[in-house]
Structure 1
Amino acid sequence: MLTQETKLLLIGQVTDISGIPIRTIRYYESLGLIKSSRRTEGGFRQFSLDVLTRLAFIKRAQNLGLSLEEIGNILQVYDQGQAPCGEIKEKLQDKLLQIDRQIDQLLTLRSEIKGLLSGWKNIGDQYEDTICPIIQNIPQC
């Protein structure tokens, strides 16, 4: 009987446990984010149980806004036997700055749209070469 350490999972089992589609698992493998341990005689991928930990990490890191490239770099550090927490902290700090910039841009856009809507007047006349003079900042008569 196989022990927990030597038990291998087929790709379908990995999908069932992780909730990640087979196509995505294959894609992650093509990027080098995960590796299959071997293949069956029929050519089916087999994965060790630690692939579940990697997939959970990848999913969480993506939810935090990290790209697959960034995640791959972090996993490379981990695969070299080093703790990647320093790299992760740096990436998350960068992500936070990006979010703050996006919030500022959205607040500016919100203010501009609110200003347009607060003074909105329906204009019956069409202006030449104009779709909507209100948003095109064309003075109204």
Structure 2
Amino acid sequence: MLAQESLKQIGLVAKESSVPIKTIRYYEELGLLKASGRTEGGYRLFDSDVFSRLNFIKRAQKLGLSLSEIKEFLEVHDGGHLPCDQVKIKLSEKIAEIEQQIEQLQILKRELQGLLDREDLAQDDEALICPIIEGN
């Protein structure tokens, strides 16, 4: 019974981590978290390491990593290794994706600016809703 005293109920974990109970349950369902047991009333119990895992998950999500990617890192960690090599690969891939998105946004920006800069718009064509968008 003494070991169970160090375990925290899901409600307390949610309160202390600012992660909703529903999200904690979802993470457990995905295998990102593991409950250490349940109370007699059926409430999930977690070890104190749940907080570092939740912090890792939240930070990794803010960096644009998916839950499945995060799960891979946690599985490596749970296997007794640091997942830093895998993290470096994923972050490099994210940088490449961001650079591609920036390039696409620059193209879109130039196109939009070109539309705004046009002066030869046919204002009297009643078939058009807005010549800026529809004009050639």
Global fold match (TM > 0.5): yes
The one-character-per-residue Cα deviations of 1:73-98 (angstroms, maximum 9, x if unpaired) are 11111111111000000000000000
Match of 2:108 in 1: 109
1:119 Cα offset (Å):
1.6
- Normalized against structure 2, the TM-score is what? 0.91
Q: Deviations over 1:30-64 (max 9, x none)?
A: 00000110000000001000000000000000000
**Cα RMSD (Å):** 2.1
The sequence identity of aligned pairs, in percent, is: 52
> 1:80: which partner in 2?
79
Does the 8 Å CA contact 1:11/1:44 hold for their aligned counterparts?
Answer: yes
Distance apart, 1:118 and its partner CA = 1.4
- Which consecutive unaligned segments of at least 5 residues does structure 1 have? none
Unmatched 5+ residue regions in structure 2? Answer: none
Alignment check: 8 A CA contact 1:9 1:47 kept = yes
Query: 75-84 or 5-14, which moves further after superposition?
Result: 5-14
Which protein is richer in helix relative to its size? 2
Return the letter of the residue paired with 2:24: I
Aligned residues: 135
CA offsets, 1:2-56, max 9 Å, x none?
Answer: 58x9611111111111110111000000000001100000000010000000000
TM-score in terms of structure 1 length:
0.87
